[in-house]
Structure 1
Amino acid sequence: MANGGPVCGPISTFSRVQLLHLLFEASAVQTRSERTIGELCDATGLHPNTVREHLQRLIEGGYVIQASEHRTTRGRPRTLYSAATGTAEASSPIARDKAKAAAERGDLLRRVLPASASASALGRDATYQLDALIEHLEESGFEPVVDDEQLTVDLSPCPHAAGRAEDRPMLCTVHLGLMQGVLTEAGGPLAAETVRTTALPADCTVQLRLTEMTAA
């Protein structure tokens, strides 16, 4: 952030980034999208209690979904965790409520702002998607600047610029997944395509795109 404020939200610690990265990787595998506490501990080296605490915070934020394993044999079912990608199979009620509340707050602001700051020319659904995305980014410590024409969101200066350079690829991948989940949950024509970076660590721009159906 420009004012040097703390990084917050779902990517506030590297441990959460690791967990989200594992869950997003699992969501891309058709055979099994969930992971257990044990699997996450083995992959990260974190203590089970630490993993549970991080997962609980991510669940409360609407970024992770918790479910009980369906067993066909005797025994206590395991708890399974998956990334909330916003699809019908991985939709979080908390994320849906956050998207709805963001749209309501956006409508309220548009009623009191000048006409030049009215709803996006992309249409109502895209405007509501941007409402949800902007709130997510602000909660995560960014100061987003949206360009409706270029379909970009400028996040410079990135509050993660001071972190380790070797962690940036994973961080950017996770944050792109989070943004895509927010946009999908809000419902509309916009999708998050890529996070563009430069040689300067503080420079960061998200490229959005219209879905093929909408563009056609």
Structure 2
Amino acid sequence: MNTVDRRELTRADPPAGPVLGDSRAQVLAALQSRSDPVSVLMVARQVGLHPNTARFHLDHLVEQGLAARETEQRDAPGRPRTLYRASSESTRTGRRSYRLLAEILTSYLSTQTPQASAAAEQAGKAWGKFLTDRPAPFREVDTATAIRQLTEVLDDIGFAPQADTGPSDPRILLHHCPFREVAEEHPDVACAVHLGLMRGVLSELKAPVEATALEPFVEPNLCVARLAERRPEAG
């Protein structure tokens, strides 16, 4: 990385407001529209996200200081819910260099960890499973449904995906990389995380299709995820 790039990462000019992806901005707007604290399920329904995805964004908003987490006060039996509300900082925030943090972590993993790509893929796979709604027992998910749900998860994260389900070469076109700068510097780590995430989603769905490869930047603004019929597991 050259000197200009480092200055770009660390310059102190504060942005006009927090830089959020579309889904996270919608989650924050849902909190700001309410005067009372709300549950994960209420936010998920209002924004149209899976509850695990909504919780993922809510917890990150808490980490950014844009939301506050509290426990429901209730007299009725049962476990109290975790509630969220927008914080006073949600309308005025200072600069937080998450890109710099991502650069630090990916560069360390890339240079200091044996088999960095494999470790990154496993991390992505774990998150892919977490962000996916597991189907009911004994319910089979067909290929079209699995690809649709995978596309929805990728869209929530910010990949601007487009399913291209040709009979011989199903794939998902990713028109936007929300981690582009990091992926360009450390594709062995960042792209492995993305591939692992897709594999985690399809594994959790017990889908008859799997992600076989991720081709980064086949065009300046296009990555391609290759899909194929799932191979039988050993044993």
TM-score range, shorter chain: 0.3 to 0.5
**What TM-score does the superposition give when structure 1 sets the normalisation length?**
0.45
**What TM-score does the superposition give when structure 2 sets the normalisation length?**
0.42
Q: Which structure carries more relative contact order (alpha carbon 8 Å, separation 6+)?
A: 1
Larger Rg: 2
